[in-house]
Each structure stands twice: as C-alpha cells, then as structure tokens.
Structure 1
Amino acid sequence: MSIAALEGSATLLDDLRAALGAEAVLHDEKSRTYYANDVFWQPGVAPLAIVLPRTADEAAAAVAAASKAGVSIVPRGGGMSYTKGYLPKRPDSIVVDGRKLNRIVELNAADQYVTVETGCTWSALNEALEGTGLRTGYWGPLSGINATIGGALSQNSAFFGSGIHGTVAETVLGVTVVLADGRKVTTGSGGRVGAKPFNRYGGPDLTGMFLGDNGAMGVKVSATLRLYPRPDKVDFLSFGFQTMQAMAAAQVEMARSRCVSEGFGIDRTKIEHSASVNKLSDGLKTLGNLAMGGKSLFQGAKDALGVATAGTAFLKAHNFTLHLVVEGRTDGELRHSLDTLRAIGKRHGTEIENSVPKVMRSKPFGPVRGMLGRDGQRWVPIHAVFPLSDAPKVIDANDAFFAEKRGFMETHGIIYSVMTMTVGNDFFLEPAFYWDDEITPLHAASLGEDVVRPWRDRPANPATRQAVAELRRATQELYAGMGGISWQVARDYPFREILSPETWSLLEGVKRAVDPQGLMNPGALGLD
C-alpha cells in the first residue's frame, strides 16, 4: 500500500471513530482476520476495518465516510453465509457489521406489519411477536439464533413457513437502505410523505432491487414485514421412501395441495452425518425440557419418552425420509390438511414416527450445530430451485452426476448428502458435503469453544477443501444448465453468465445509478 493510501486509511479510521466512537471501529489484526472468513471460504482478504453501527444514522455516516475515501463497503449480518457474500474482495474495504442494529422499530398489530432493524435475529423477532397472535409469513431459517433479518433479505432465505409463504422476499413490504453515498432511502409506502409502511407497491417495485442483492445495491438498515394470524393448530407427519424419486413425487404433489407449512426430505447419509439430526437422540433430559414448552407439540411425559427412546434408528430403515409441519386455523382445517398429506405420502411411501419435525418445531432456533458434521467434519451445502414439474428430471440428473463423481469423492474423503424442500411452488434441492478440515474462529464463535474443543487440533486440509470447491462448482453448473436458479448468489454461484445480455445490462444500469463508483460490495452478483 502506498504512502498516500496509508495516509488516506488513517484519515478514514479517524473519521469513522469520530462518527461512531472508537469502540465501534475494529482495526486489530485478530478482528480483521476473523472477518476474512465465512462458513466455507478461507482465508479471504482482510478488510481495512470493521464498523459496528448502533443506529441507521451511524451506518449512513460510516458508508458516507468510506465512499468519500474511495473505500469499498461490505455489509455483514449474522455470519452464516458460505458464498463469499460478506467477504471483502479488496483490502481497501470496511465491513459494516449490522448486528447492533437490532431494535424492533414498530409492531403494528392493527395493520399487521412489523418494522425491525436488520441486525435483529429471527429468534429475537419471533420472541418479540410472542403473545400477539401474529407471525411473519416466512419466519426464519434454521440458523435463526444467529441469522439476521438483513442477511436473509440479502440472500433470499427460506425455511420456516416457506411451504406456503415462499421465501423471505414475499413477506417484505419495504426496506430502508443506505446507498453508497450515504443517503438513506425507504421503499414501499413507507417512502411516501406521511404514509405508513403498510404496502409494498403503488408504483414500481423499488423494494425488489434490494432483495437477494447480497448488499451490492446498498446497506439495508431496517425492513417492514407483513404479519399474519398465527395458526392455532399444529401437527406433524413423517414418511419413509425407498427412492429419492418417490420422495420428490410426494413433495411435488403435497406442494400443489398448499397444505405444508414447512418440511424437508433427507437421505440416510444426512441422518448419519448431520449433527442436527443426531441431536434427536441426545437423551431424555433435553427432550423432556422441550416437552414442557407446549401441549401442542408434546402431550406430556409419555409423548416425550416415546420421542427420546425412538432416537434415530427408525430413520435408518429408509433410504429417504420426509418430515412435515402442518398448521391450521381450526381443528377441521388441520384435519383436512393431515388427511390430504397422509393420503399422498402413503401413495409414494410409508408413514413413520413424526419425532423429527416435532422436535425441530419445539425449539426452532437452537444452536447452529449443523454447520459441522456429527464428528466435527466441515460442512458446506449447495442449492438450486426448479419448477415443480422439473423435479423428476432434476432428480435423475442429480443421481447420475453424483454417481459419476463417486470415485472423486472417495479419493478426497468427501461425504455427500442431500436435502429437498418445496418452497411455495418451487422444488428446492440442496446437496451438502462433509470432510475433515481445521476448525475456524467462525465455527468456534458460532458454536462455542466447548463444542469445537474435540476437533481444535485437526489440521487444515486445503487440498480436500479445493476438491469440495471444484465439486460445488460442477454441481452449480449442472443445475444452472437445467434452468435452475440459486438464491444466495453472492460471488459464488453462476449469475452473469446465465442472464441474457439485455437483462444483465439493465442490472448494470441500476448498479451504476445507486453506486456509481462501484464501492458497494464489489464483485457481489458479478458486478464490479
């Protein structure tokens, strides 16, 4: 770095400390190194500094100062990304860690919306909504104890509530975003003078350009989400299948029925290697405590005992298992949905013990233990989304692809598993890979030292990590070639190469309009 650049960096750090306070600006080597890694990609480029704004105005001041200095701005949420979404591309970058922007701004039960700062976790938002009888449509990922509202908006997350309500984008009414020059802009009706943020439209949909953008268009500081009455009735179903094709056929038919709140299908390898699934057999004490959380999940000690003693052995009797949460506003509505789904499931497979979805729903936002395998293996997924009708050919192609790659994976010690979901009217396919590798500071901070201690001395394994990267890229290209799309694009999934030239030029034009210097998360979405 030149003398002029060093002097400019020092001036910027002084400006940031003056605007946010010294304690909100991190510049030490340990912090800079920590923020250069995500769940998979390591080591990355260390940023110049990290800022932790506590208000939207502080975030705007930090962005404006960085922009004036010609320094890149990289937004970061809860740190659960594995697609380079919050990793700096250039050393002259500041990371804006938004986790201190975590207030509930307005909870309007009468008009059924909530405005929340984007550093709030999904777990905290759901706690704030307890007792209101309301819930957002999509209400969080499995990693919701760490994952933030802003991170989900940037990567278009899906899980809880997604069977009916789709991705998080379909729950958003408007956002407030800091643009690259420090301006705060509000989209939706909240951007009108004197209007409530109750509606997304009433003109061009400016909200959409900031969803799924991985921060390429601006730093989101708050969002307004639509609320719905929380269903009073809930029950659970699980099924076993001999083939993935049979399971996918059931999922597609169930998705068209609009009866599934959320659900997922997994293979036997996932059962054996996923720490999250294996937590089912952790013992009576844990499950007994969960049982006390609500009669709608467990009908008392006897039910809890049955779940605990069942463990995971019954799952391994099937090559694939599907686990569903079903909700209804009345007993009759719930019963109709259960009967519909049970009939579909039995046409394609066998009904089995429903303890997996029951335990998952009893504590939806538990520790993110699944970011490592059962025995501390590193884990990284890959995904794509397809039309429901394409599921059969996608499953066949996926099976053929990984059969061809079996020798490669065995040579490198890579374990493959797969998960499927339906999200609204889409079929979601997510292979995951496990391998032995070093534990990073991000894993330790996310899971706790007590959890990772047994594997702390495991050496780095860059050769296998590179093999996983090559396997992921080949999988991405397979899915993209079949017309699949990916939500967490960041700087990982193919994007520019699969857009038509006309569509790409429109995206570039929007980027130039909101970020003429190209300082907002350079490289995200392939924009640079």
Structure 2
Amino acid sequence: MALAQPTTEARPPALDALAGTIGADKVLSDAPTRAYYANDVFWQPGIEPTAVILPTTREEAVAAVRAAAEAGLDIVPRGGGMSYTKGYLPSAPGSVVIDCRGLKQVVEVNVDDRYITVESGCTWEQVNAALEGTGLRTRYWGPLSGVNATVGGALSQNSAFFGSARHGTVADSVLGVTVALADGRVVTTGSGGRVGTRPFTRYGGPDLTGLFMGDNGAFGVKLAATLALFPRPAEVDFLSFGFKTMDAMAAAQVEIARTGAVCEGFGIDRNKAEHSASVNRISDGLRSLGNVAASGKTLLGGLKDAAKVATAGTSFIKAHNFTLHLVLEADTRAALDASLATVRAIGNHHGVEIDNSVPRVMRAKPFGPVRGMLGLNGERWVPIHAVFPLSSAAEVVRANADYFESQRPMMEEHRITYSVMSMTVGNEFFLEPAFYWPDEITPLHEKSVGAETVKPWRDRPANPAAREAVVRLRRGTQELYASLGGVSWQVARDYPFREVLTPETWSLLSDIKRAVDPDGRMNPGSLGLAAS
C-alpha cells in the first residue's frame, strides 16, 4: 500500500500547548496517522499534514483553529472521509487537518418550529435516528454513504440523493451554519446569528449561509448546521423500468422530473448494475428481508414485500441495458396512486416496467456499509459528475457516449471499466460516470470498507499507469461537461473552477476569501484559491 513518505517535521510549540489543553490523544503527529490523512478515496499519496486534530467539542475545534493560526500552519477541515477530489488533503507542507467527526452532538430537535440543529460531524444516519418518532424529516436526508458521510462534509461539497429529486441538494435544506473562521471568530448565519432569535429561517438580509455551501472548507471550519424539517409523507411506493438505450432512459427521467412526483431515484447501465449487485446492497437485499418486512405498513404487507424481493433476486436488472429505480411519496394513498399512474405511463412509453425490488431494498436500509468505493472484485473506484438543465439531457447523453467510445482503446489497455449513473435533482439532470480498475488497496479503503472485505485484494500492487489514465479520463470528462454548460459541485482541488468563471465573478470570490481569511490559512488551494 503506497503511502506518503514519513517526514521528521517538528511539531510547533502551539500544537504541544493545544495537546496539553484538549488532550494528547486529540493532537496526533505520529507517522502512521500523518500518512493515513495524506490520502483520499482516489488521490494518493499526498502531502502529509504536520498534525491531525480530533476535537470533540465546539470549543476544542475553535482552539485548534487558533493554535494552527498562531503556529503559522494551514488549516484543512475534514468530514467523513468520503471525498475523492482532494478536498481534505493538504496542498503544501505545514498544514493541520481538523477531523470534525468528533463533533457529533444533536444540539436541538424543534418539532414545533420544524428544524434540527446538529454538529457538523453528525452522520446522516445519526440525523435520521434523532428524528425517529417525530413524524418529521429533513427534505434532503442523506447520501447512500450516510453511515459515514457527515453533515459538514455534505455541506462543504454539496450532496444529493435521498429526497433530492423533489427537494434538491443538501444546500436547499439548510437554514444556517455555525463556522469557525481562520482568525478564530465563530459566526452563525441565518436567523440564528441574530441576538435572541431562534434559527428558524435562512433569510433576513444577505444570504450568508450560501457563502459556506459548496465552499469545500475554503472559508471556514463548519461546527454546526440547522436543517429545515417537514412532515414525513405517509405513503411511499416504488417503480422500476428497463430501457434499451441511455437516450430512452434520460428522456423518461426528464419527463418524470417535470411531474414533480418522484422523491428520489437513479438510472444505471448494466456495468453499474453488475458492480452494484455485489457492492451497493442490491443483492444484499436478500439478506435484508427483515428490514423490508419491517418497512411494510402491516406485518402481512411487509412479509409479502420481502418475499417479492427474495423471488426477484438481481438477474432481472442485468436483462436490460439500462434500468431506472424510483421512490414516490405522497400524503394520501389517492395522491400516490395518481402519481404512480402518471410516472408508470411515462416509463412504459420509453421503456418497460420491471420488478421494483431495487428501490424497495434501498429504502428499507438506506445507510448500509460503504462497500461501493470498491468494485465487484475489489477494483478501485472513482466517479466524475456534472449537472445540466433538463433540456440539455439528450445532447449531454450523446456527447458522453461519443467521448467514451473515443477513449475505448486506452481504457481497454489499462483494464478500466466504465459505468454511468443518472438522476434528476429538482430541475437538473445529473450525470455521473464512474471508473473501475485494478490497483492497490489503501488503508483508507480498508478502514472504510472493512479488513475482512478487502482481505483477498490487500496485497494487490499499485497500478500508477492505470491510475494516471483514469486521471486523464476524468479531466477529459470534466472539460467535456464544462463545454456543454455543465456545473460540478465537489470542486475542491479537482474540478475546473476558475477557468469556468467569468473574471468578474472570480474577482468577487477572491475578495470574499481575503475578507474572511486574509492570511490564506483556511484550506488553501481549495476552489483554486491559493494562499495569500
């Protein structure tokens, strides 16, 4: 497992003093820890941080920011570790990583005023657990990796999945955030930043909350967030369809999106289905029948649903070139039946209805192990994405297919497998190709996926030639999507950003960076914003 080479960099006295204040076990600078934090899901080996700080309270996190600034060190915030865009990797020596996963308190669940405030290290699984029994839910309620992914990480990189077809990204659900700036100031946005006012609304003056959405930690360390709640719909049902072509599936997705009937859903090709059948809990549904049964409105109904999943298996997915899996919700059964009829007619116009066990299992156990960061046989995995206007979907799908056809010889040379997933997020068409290739398993993968799972592939050698080919593929895809008017969320140090902004917009962003971080200490390099 190739890792960053250990260094003998001395730890600054300010960090020793911090260790004395918050505990030596929360300020780590040993070689294995520093090497581990120099890697993300895709990029390695990177630059080692000088130290890793593990605060468990807001006060400790603020003290960490101040200690790093006093020592002249750059500050790199880190959430659940699911990033593949260099978002939490130091861009230069002399950096500290602040791992926020210890900030995991649920601060307030306000049922009457319909909001929840949580610390930034709370996972989405923890957020949803805190709302059990209230009858309420956040509009966006997490990614598939919600067992590990944190609220702060989702806000920093933007995120979409559960609830997103109807309610948009995580940023659309946020009422306010509390952030530690590089100089140690702690600011709260939204109404929670007013004197004597509860955090019940985002607006009332300029939208300062938006400044910290998708900033990849360039403007501050997120300490907490308040999310809006709404009544959990009483009725839920599922639909799946098969298609011969990606064009047909995308056309169905666009038409369905305009109805507003779907809560979440995704389309995949056969390659993705093959990996997902083992990786992303589709076949695991056969071992999740208890969850399916428990999700039924009646015991008998749940058992019937579980039997249906068991009977269907996963072979039906691979019988189609492309499959689309949808979850629909409504407040009444009559409303849900009307939506099902509308969506069913659209799906059958472009394709054919198939068994709906995939979305059914997904909803029965939304936050499973993050096995999906490796392929069927332990291949390394990394995606790339962009969102487009719904009207551009057909053009984008064709251009995407043409591009990857042109790259086929190089991909075959390096044994790179390509798959694609598509979604609609509000009024946007989301496209996410992913790549699988043989390569080493890093400690980050082992810790995330589990030592037993990666055991057969632990000694697989590094494959830098294939990894570099994937880098070229991803960059080519990014440039293609930008040329088609696409927008990418998880910018960090990976996606083109300055190149796609007008000079005037870039200058404003740079001015904001200087205002909140005059010394350029907060995650320099993120968003292409270099240190001052």
Q: TM-score, with normalisation over the residues of structure 1?
A: 0.97
Q: Assess if the C-alpha contact under 8 Å between 1:275 and 1:370 holds in 2.
A: no
What percentage of residue pairs aligned between the two structures are identical?
Answer: 68
Contact 2:240 2:324 in 1 (8 A): yes
For residue 263 of structure 1, what is the aligned residue in structure 2? Answer: 265
Give the equivalent residue in structure 1 for 2:197: 195
Q: C-alpha separation between the residues in 1 aligned to 2:26 and 2:354?
A: 52
Letter in 1 for 2:373: M
Counterpart in 1 of 2:243?
A: 241
Mapping 1:465-484, distance limit 5 Å:
465-484=467-486
> Where in structure 2 are there 5+ consecutive unaligned residues?
1-7
| 164-173 or 294-303: bigger deviation | 294-303
Secondary structure (helix, strand or coil) at the match of 2:88 reads coil
State the Cα deviation string for residues 32-73 of structure 1 (Å, max 9, x = none): 011000000000101000001111111111101111221000
Cα contact 1:278–1:374 (8 A) shared by 2? no
Q: Does 1:309 find its partner at 2:311?
A: yes
Counterpart of 1:326? 328
Q: Output the CA distance in 1 between the equivalents of 2:147 and 2:204.
A: 35
Q: Is the 8 A contact 1:272 1:278 kept in 2?
A: no
What is the Cα-based RMSD across aligned positions, in Å? 1.4
**Structure 2 counterparts to residues 318-397 of structure 1, below 5 A:** 318-397=320-399
- 1:495-510 alignment runs, 5 A limit: 495-510=497-512
Aligned partner of 2:46 in structure 1 is 44
Q: 2:279–2:371: 8 Å Cα contact kept in structure 1?
A: no
Distance 1:508 1:460 in 2: 38
Once the two structures are TM-superposed, the CA of residue 336 in structure 1 deviates from its matched residue by: 1.2
1:281 CA displacement = 3.0
Measured against aligned partners, the alpha-carbon deviations of 1:454-504 in whole angstroms (never above 9, x if no partner) come to 111111111101110111001000001111000000000000000000000
- Is the partner of 2:419 in helix, strand or coil? strand
Residues 284-303 of structure 1 aligned to structure 2 (within 5 Å): 284=286, 286-296=287-297, 299-303=301-305
- For residues 301-335 of structure 1, what are the alpha-carbon distances to aligned partners after superposition, in whole Å with 9 as ceiling and x for unaligned? 34323312322211111110000000011111111
Counterpart for residue 4 of structure 2: none
Q: How far does residue 6 in structure 1 lie from its aligned partner after superposition?
A: 6.0
Q: What is the CA–CA distance in structure 1 between the aligned matches of 2:364 and 2:297, rounded to whole Å?
A: 9
In structure 1, how many angstroms separate the alpha carbons of the residues matched to 2:257 and 2:195? 41
CA contact (8 A) 2:12 2:71 kept: no
In the alignment, which residue of structure 2 is the partner of 1:409?
411
Instruction: Give 3-state SS (helix, strand or coil) of 1:115's partner.
Output: strand
State how far apart, in whole Å, the 2-side matches of 1:426 and 1:59 are: 36
Question: For 2:21 and 2:515, how far apart are their aligned partners in 1?
Answer: 26
Choose the corresponding residue for 1:458, options 457, 460, 469: 460
1:116 lines up with 2:118 in the alignment = yes
Instruction: Give the alignment of 1:209-228 within 5 angstroms.
Output: 209-228=211-230
Which letter maps to 1:293?
A: A
Match of 1:157 in 2: 159
- Alpha-carbon distance change, 340 to 283 in structure 1, aligned in 2, over 3 angstroms: closer
In structure 2, how many angstroms separate the alpha carbons of the residues matched to 1:59 and 1:287? 39
Q: What is the CA-CA distance between 1:283 and the residue it aligns to?
A: 7.2
**Alpha-carbon separation, structure 2, partners of 1:274 and 1:454:** 19
User: Are the aligned partners of 1:241 and 1:320 in contact in 2 as well (CA < 8 Å)?
Assistant: yes
Distance 1:306 1:278 in 2: 19
Partner Cα separation in structure 2 for residue 106 and residue 405 of structure 1:
51
1:60 is aligned to 62
Q: Is the 8 A contact 1:173 1:200 kept in 2?
A: yes
**In 2, Cα distance between equivalents of 1:163 and 1:89:** 35
The amino acid of 2:289's aligned partner reads G
- How has the CA–CA distance of structure 1 residues 107 and 49 changed in structure 2, closer, same or farther, with 3 Å as cutoff? same
Count of aligned pairs:
522
Distance 1:112 1:289 in 2: 31
- Check conservation: 1:73, 1:96, Cα contact below 8 A: yes
**Aligned counterpart for 1:143 among listed residues 145, 151, 161:** 145
Shift of 1:290: 2.0
Q: Which amino acid aligns with 2:54?
A: L
Kindly state the Cα deviation for residue 278 of structure 1 after the two structures are TM-superposed: 6.5
In structure 2, distance between residues paired with 1:23 and 1:43? 25
Per the TM alignment, residue 296 of structure 1 is displaced from its structure 2 partner at its CA by 4.0
> Cα distance, 1:291 vs. partner?
2.6
Asked whether the equivalents of residues 154 and 215 of structure 1 are also in contact (C-alpha less than 8 Å), the reply is: yes
Q: Is the 8 A contact 1:173 1:225 kept in 2?
A: yes
Give the CA deviation at 1:277: 5.7
CA gap of 1:138–1:239, structure 2 versus 1, over 3 A, is: same
1:523 aligns to 2:528 (yes or no): no
2:436 maps to which of 420, 434, 437:
434
1:215–1:520: 8 Å Cα contact kept in structure 2?
yes
- 1:99 and 1:375 map into 2 onto residues whose CA distance is 30
User: Runs of 5+ in structure 1 lacking a partner?
Assistant: none
Distance 1:431 1:509 in 2: 34
Q: Secondary structure at the match of 2:109?
A: strand
Q: Does the CA-based 8 Å contact 2:38-2:45 persist in structure 1? A: yes
Matched letter for residue 142 of structure 2: G
Give distance in 2, aligned partners of 1:352 and 1:120.
37
Change (3 A) 1:452 1:277: closer
Asked whether the equivalents of residues 281 and 309 of structure 1 are also in contact (C-alpha less than 8 Å), the reply is no
Q: Per the alignment, do residues 183 and 19 of structure 1 end up closer, same or farther by CA in structure 2, a change over 3 Å counting?
A: farther
TM-superposed CA distance for 1:15, in Å, is: 2.3
CA contact (8 A) 2:296 2:305 kept: no
CA distance in 2, matches of 1:436, 1:6: 34
Instruction: Answer with 275-284 or 475-484: which moved more.
Output: 275-284
Corresponding residue to 2:282 among 280, 283, 289 = 280
Amino acid at match of 1:92: G
TM-score (normalizing by structure 2): 0.96
- The residue type paired with residue 88 of structure 1 is P
Letter in structure 2 aligned against 1:288: L
**293-302 or 54-63: bigger deviation:** 293-302
Q: Does the residue aligned with 1:197 lie in a helix, a strand or coil?
A: coil
